[in-house]
Amino acid sequence: MDGLQLLLDAKCLMASIGRCLAIVSFLVEIPAHAHDADVVFVRAQRSGQNQVVEHVTLTFGTLGLLVRAKGLEENRQAIESAMWNRMPLSADNKPCIRGATKALVHEGYAELIASFSCSFGTLTQTFGFLESLPRAYRVVVESDGSATQQFAEFKSQSVTLWGSGSRSKSQPITGVLGWIWLGIFHIFSGLDHLAFLVALLLIGKTWRQVLLMITSFTVAHSITLGATTLDLIVLNAREQRWAEAAIALSVAYVALGNLLFKEHKHRALVTFAFGLIHGFGFAAALKEYGLGQSVGAGLFGFNLGVELGQACVVGLLYPAIRLLQRRPRINRAVVSAASLLIFAAAGYWFVDRIA
């Protein structure tokens, strides 16, 4: 009986040890499963014309699965190869140009930062590094082009950050009338173009002078709008950014001229020169909507809409300016205050677009 009791006690002991080992094994496996279900956070922000800055936040454990090296600053090239090269950003299937990158160490996690220059089009990103991570991983994407978070996973690695460059265009433009309305909308929503028109009108003494300035501006911007839309002139993202900065400078120049000069000779020629620059801005806005096979209708309708919008601004504003000009003292004060305000706004736009 003693031998049988000893055998039973041994079996109970072995069973207890087995249960303990099972519990220990379960506790050990919990962190592994929790790590397998980890996430990578991506935040995409617009920074100026067609500029995108991305922040990628991930744990050191996740980074260790992707980068087989120690340290961040010492292995920047390895990080770029493992991360940025495997999460390409593109606009209408045209790769964005990656600029400066940065790797930051925080308490418990790493932050990777990169800037991109993109052409116009719908921005999408593919997170190919998911193939090197456990299948349970998710990428949580936040962008100022989407009101909600988006998710990427092993089976679905691509995410649309936002549509058509820096603005989301959910509805396609159809018919000439649609393009006309788009041109009108662009004039009334484009503060820099509106400010340029107002600065011109403030010093217009006669209808003939105003008509000459507006006509020269129209002819000039129509030239570059057409040439850029038809790809006779092609600007990359950097060149387009400088064109937008030059538009801001043109607004500042006209406003400053209103403040400093008593006579405004050759204003029509100056307006023509600046109109050529503004045409690049109009073309950029037009291309953002994706012309497709509607190049002719889009170019004609959009340009006509721009002219109609300009005509509305002139027709509504200039009669009031003419009435104001009958009171020289009040007119000088209004012209000075408005021109100073326009100059300050143009200065802000210029700094924002080159920064």
Do the Cβ atoms of 249 and 345 come closer than 8 Å? no
Domain boundary among 140, 162, 184: 162
| Residue 6, pLDDT score | 43
Nearest-angstrom CA–CA distance, 142 and 151: 9
Shared-domain flag, residues 234 and 100:
no
| Residue 22, pLDDT score | 41
Shared-domain flag, residues 147 and 104:
yes
Shared-domain flag, residues 182 and 227:
yes
| Residue 76, pLDDT score | 65
Shared-domain flag, residues 350 and 219:
yes
| Residue 39, pLDDT score | 85
Shared-domain flag, residues 104 and 214:
no
Shared-domain flag, residues 152 and 203:
no
Shared-domain flag, residues 98 and 158:
yes
| Residue 102, pLDDT score | 84
Nearest-angstrom CA–CA distance, 290 and 40: 32
Does residue 9 lie within any of the structural domains?
A: no
Quote the tokens at residue 123.
């921005």
Domain boundary among 162, 184, 203: 162
Domain residue limits at 318 = 175-354
| Residue 166, pLDDT score | 38
Does residue 82 lie within any of the structural domains?
A: yes
pLDDT by residue, tens only, the chain of 355 residues: 444 444 445 444 445 444 443 433 433 333 433 344 478 989 888 765 567 889 998 888 888 888 765 555 556 667 766 788 889 998 877 888 888 888 888 877 888 898 888 877 778 899 998 988 888 888 988 876 555 678 888 888 988 887 543 333 434 555 788 888 888 888 887 888 899 999 998 887 788 888 888 899 999 999 998 898 888 888 877 788 888 899 999 999 999 999 988 776 778 888 999 999 999 888 877 776 656 556 778 888 888 998 999 999 999 998 988 888 889 899 899 999 999 999 999 999 999 888 7
Residues 6+ apart with CB under 8 A from 178: 301
The CATH number of the domain holding residue 102 is: 2.60.40
How many domains is the chain built from? Answer: 2
Nearest alpha carbon to residue 72 among 87, 56, 88: 56
Domain boundary among 136, 162, 188: 162
Neighbouring C-beta atoms of residue 312, cutoff 10 Å: 13
- Residue where the block lists tokens 């820096």: 166
Do the Cβ atoms of 347 and 245 come closer than 8 Å? no
Does residue 3 lie within any of the structural domains?
A: no
Does residue 16 lie within any of the structural domains?
A: no
Shared-domain flag, residues 112 and 206:
no
Do the Cβ atoms of 163 and 171 come closer than 8 Å? no
Neighbouring C-beta atoms of residue 218, cutoff 10 Å: 19
Does residue 15 lie within any of the structural domains?
A: no
Shared-domain flag, residues 151 and 194:
no
Which amino acid does the sequence have at 354? I
Does residue 156 lie within any of the structural domains?
A: yes
Shared-domain flag, residues 158 and 185:
no
Does residue 102 lie within any of the structural domains?
A: yes
Does residue 2 lie within any of the structural domains?
A: no
pTM: 0.54
Shared-domain flag, residues 246 and 148:
no
Shared-domain flag, residues 53 and 109:
yes
